[in-house]
Amino acid sequence: MQNVSNRELEILRNIYRKQKEEKDKKIRKLCSNDDYLLWLKKFTIMHTSFRSDDKLLHTYKISHQDRENIDKLELLYEGIEDYAENEEIFPKLTTYGNCYSLYYKRTGYYIGRYTTGTKDSYCCTRVSEYKLLDPIDFSDIKTYSIQKLESSYQKSKK
């Protein structure tokens, strides 16, 4: 096994840190407004349940924009997870992985993460708002995300 020098290790840490900061910024941006949830509400009228790794979705006539938004389900899940950890809300454990109940403008969703092999995949199921158990209101996540964006902006100004 080849030894890694301290300089190389530092370069790798900086790359990882920058990638994490960029991903965090994408999560905050997605969760700080209603655009994604408005898309989700519209999309789940036709597709009440879907997975980010669902190859069958390619056989449906979905737009390029829908495909990109399906891929952003991971960012939504991680935004919910960050908020939930901050508020000490635990995910529901399912047979396949973890799941959060999400409430948005009279619509309920189960947003989950499960592992297939070595890869995480994400899923969404639209449900009646009355069937949700201990839902997280998206407006709370939105407020939290806006506060984190403002906080990171203040830090970058220093």
Of 34, 26, 9, 33, the C-alpha closest to 78 is: 26
The tens digit of pLDDT for each residue in 63-85 reads 889 989 999 999 999 999 999 99
pLDDT of residue 156: 65
Confidence class for position 99, pLDDT limits 50, 70, 90: very high
> In whole angstroms, what is the distance from residue 54 CA to residue 64 CA?
15
Q: Is the pTM of this model over 0.75?
A: yes
pLDDT(91) > 70:
yes
pLDDT(1) > 80:
no
The answer to whether residue 1 is domain-embedded is: no
Weakest-pLDDT range from 20-29, 56-65, 141-150: 56-65
pLDDT of residue 2: 61
The answer to whether residue 158 is domain-embedded is: no
The answer to whether residue 91 is domain-embedded is: yes
Weakest-pLDDT range from 52-61, 112-121, 125-134: 52-61
Average pLDDT over residues 114-122: 87
Q: Which domain holds residue 42?
A: 6-149
The answer to whether residue 135 is domain-embedded is: yes
Look up residue 83 and give its amino acid.
Y
Structure-model confidence comparison of residues 80 and 117, the more confident one: 80
The answer to whether residue 105 is domain-embedded is: yes
Domain count, the chain: 1
pLDDT more than 90, % of the chain:
54
Inter-CA distances, 105 with 9, 36, 109, 128, 137, Å: 47, 13, 11, 11, 9
The answer to whether residue 155 is domain-embedded is: no
pLDDT of residue 11: 82
